[in-house]
Structure 1
């Protein structure tokens, strides 16, 4: 990378750290944090995003996937590269006492999506200021419902990204120091699915079990058998998880119930392993229930909680990211071989239809307590000093990608914001 562009990227970081932009980011993040909204309910968050884009004179499409906003910066012509931020909060009561605590009982930005929106808005501000230098179009994706509802899938299905050739996304990590990033090529997060099964027997008095068909005993054997999927059927070098986290049946001590409900999650880093787990989970539940004279039905909850594919980073985009990040942050601040996590992300839906890259951004507090201040914790605290790094990386990744992939497109014109997306 030339010294000119290296200077340019560091300039992006200087802009993001300037009091004008930094203070504005704090204001944005705290407004969003105080008013968390769950998936597909992000109406006020979406309204705030659109208001800020209007102030920046950035055109956008809305609504997309109910509350989503898709903005455009640049020529309006190919190539197109996307930057994504998720908007939704979690049904968690915030336990951190601070000036900008959630004002909505039982809801909290416990996964840092308020920070993600803020950093993408700041990247938009930086990119808009340099719009004349952008060789193509940056597509801003403000996405609803990442937390279990697959908002990314609805964005894809809307068709607004059909001409996009690459997409970048990030996630804040409270365990990683400010100014550092974590990344890797290939699988970085697991595919995740959910299942729920109803195992039916025949209820009766516990004193005469021979007159009943015990679904609790059947369910217990089902759970034990499911553990063999990982310990006996999976390659030990191919990490997989099957966890039963729900077991409901019976309401008293001396009555065998008619049925039991169990549920859980299954995860894997490859699509092949993921699909194999799904198939075998159903076979084992139905088969083991039958051994104990019970009937079983299995629901994979595809309509209410769609399964997420594995998040797999494109190797070429990995090279691009590391190049940009090392030039901006320094080689010692870029861990380019992080250990994959069994967590899941609906960013993976984008990666199924285009090259995508997902990385981790450090937002660790000086007083970091790993047992409390973690994602999905009511005690989560985010160090806002990390925001300039996320904003500058977004802006640099997109602008340099377009510089590398610009090409003479047949029939291209100078028309601004010609709707090609």
Structure 2
């Protein structure tokens, strides 16, 4: 290339780069401005849902509220999926198709935060932010509908029940909620990072999870005659201690696995050795293979220890109502995409690398079907008391996150369709 040509080409490339950056910056800030104009509406929706929490597969009023708002906005949807879920669709109806997902269910938890919009239902609370997730996706539905003529394909918005233990995602998939979607995005509020920041990570993000229940059967007897018993309490004690070695002595220290016994029930009085003891808890691993291995050794140790103490064991894994969850593993390409597009909305300085967490998330079921990414959106704000972890009775949300989340969903879907 001649020096003269270089002299002419370089300024053109610089100008093109400046124009591109300006256009992209305007794109993200424009969506965020539109979302912030809807903040009062978003807050009102979130508070209605928060005041009336519903547990898994019981989200009838929440679902009705979403459908009412979609009808008002003129957005078509299909209902029901997985009893109370629904799927809205916006765009051309043709490929490419991208999916956005929000969970709707609350927790069996008594809210201890005293504020005007506290839960009105005794023993139930939106203590994990699903009311915010639902609201942000509904906000994205409004924004995407306003921009539907510019969409280069189709967006499917999945309002999903029963994330908290019911594996609602698996039911949504079985009933066809994904349609022809080729990628899916999910978002979860995160009390560890400030409001307005995004956390994302490639690869394993959240754990594969299995709940368990075990009964050690022996033979009851009076406490004064222990030799006439087959002591289930003694056997259960040895079993529980032996189980702790599965992580401490059989797992590579560089791998992440958890075995937690969380309750033990045995006997009803002080002078009788009970005929059985029940205990339960959870197994977790950042890989599906790790969970499979942990489950296999879990059974072997229990049966071996119970037999040593002349007892038998009933072992229940993946209990009814609490099916096993696979590991949440983020697609690297979509992780990079979230970093790039998220930066257009909140600024590249507000994107950070997420920490891996041993919590479970049924978003993983979608990822077993199509590439997907679950990323975090910050809600930490000491000034409003948004500093408590999910599943805490003191969990509180910084509602400034609502338009930010709506804008992020919108930008991710629109840019994905434009690039595919």
TM-score range, shorter chain: over 0.9
* C-alpha distance in 2 between matches for 1:161 and 1:84: 10
* C-alpha distance in 1 between matches for 2:178 and 2:155: 11
Of the candidates 367, 389, 406, which is equivalent to residue 391 of structure 1?
A: 406
Q: Secondary structure at the match of 1:391?
A: helix
Partners of 1:174 and 1:381 within 8 A in 2? no
Of the candidates 26, 40, 43, which is equivalent to residue 7 of structure 1?
A: 26
How big is the shift at 1:2?
Answer: 4.8
Residues 107-126 of structure 1 correspond to what in structure 2 (within 5 A)? 107-126=124-143
Q: Deviations over 1:5-40 (max 9, x none)?
A: 33112111111112xx00000110011111111110
Q: Secondary structure at the match of 2:194?
A: coil
Partners of 2:385 and 2:396 within 8 A in 1? no
Partners of 2:212 and 2:319 within 8 A in 1? no
Q: What is the match of residue 354 of structure 1?
A: 370
Q: Secondary structure at the match of 1:298?
A: strand
Q: Does 1:242 find its partner at 2:241?
A: no
Q: Deviations over 1:45-65 (max 9, x none)?
A: 000000111111111100111
Q: What is the match of residue 242 of structure 2?
A: 225
* C-alpha distance in 2 between matches for 1:327 and 1:261: 53
* C-alpha distance in 2 between matches for 1:76 and 1:280: 49
Q: Does 1:198 find its partner at 2:206?
A: no
Residues 161-200 of structure 1 correspond to what in structure 2 (within 5 A)? 161-200=178-217
How big is the shift at 1:365?
Answer: 2.4
Residues 133 and 2 of structure 1: CA distance in aligned 2, closer, same or farther (over 3 Å): farther
* C-alpha distance in 1 between matches for 2:261 and 2:77: 43
Q: What is the match of residue 101 of structure 1?
A: 118
Q: What is the match of residue 306 of structure 2?
A: 289
* C-alpha distance in 1 between matches for 2:84 and 2:381: 32
* C-alpha distance in 2 between matches for 1:152 and 1:56: 26
Residues 33-72 of structure 1 correspond to what in structure 2 (within 5 A)? 33-72=50-89
* C-alpha distance in 2 between matches for 1:374 and 1:41: 24
* C-alpha distance in 1 between matches for 2:384 and 2:89: 37
Partners of 1:175 and 1:368 within 8 A in 2? no
Per mean C-alpha deviation after superposition, the further-off stretch among 91-100 and 324-333 is: 324-333
Q: What is the match of residue 339 of structure 1?
A: 355
Q: Does 1:254 find its partner at 2:278?
A: no
Q: What is the match of residue 128 of structure 1?
A: 145
* C-alpha distance in 2 between matches for 1:78 and 1:71: 16
Q: What is the match of residue 273 of structure 1?
A: 290
* C-alpha distance in 2 between matches for 1:215 and 1:367: 52
Which of structure 1's runs of 4+ aligned residues deviate more than 6 A?
none
Q: Which runs of 5+ in 1 are unaligned?
A: 406-421
Per mean C-alpha deviation after superposition, the further-off stretch among 295-304 and 104-113 is: 295-304
Q: Secondary structure at the match of 2:244?
A: helix
* C-alpha distance in 2 between matches for 1:367 and 1:191: 35
Structure number with greater Rg is 2
Per mean C-alpha deviation after superposition, the further-off stretch among 337-346 and 136-145 is: 337-346
Q: Which runs of 5+ in 2 are unaligned?
A: 1-19
How big is the shift at 1:4?
Answer: 1.9
Q: Secondary structure at the match of 2:86?
A: strand
Q: Secondary structure at the match of 1:176?
A: strand
**What TM-score, normalized to structure 2?**
0.93
Residues 281 and 368 of structure 1: CA distance in aligned 2, closer, same or farther (over 3 Å): farther
Residues 155 and 204 of structure 1: CA distance in aligned 2, closer, same or farther (over 3 Å): same
> Size of the alignment, in residue pairs?
401
CA RMSD between the two structures? 1.3
**What TM-score, normalized to structure 1?**
0.93
Q: Secondary structure at the match of 2:102?
A: strand
Residues 241 and 369 of structure 1: CA distance in aligned 2, closer, same or farther (over 3 Å): farther
Residues 26-37 of structure 1 correspond to what in structure 2 (within 5 A)? 26-37=43-54
Q: What is the match of residue 6 of structure 2?
A: none
How big is the shift at 1:369?
Answer: 6.0
Partners of 1:196 and 1:301 within 8 A in 2? no
* C-alpha distance in 1 between matches for 2:126 and 2:90: 28
* C-alpha distance in 1 between matches for 2:111 and 2:226: 47
* C-alpha distance in 1 between matches for 2:177 and 2:262: 37
Q: Does 1:150 find its partner at 2:167?
A: yes
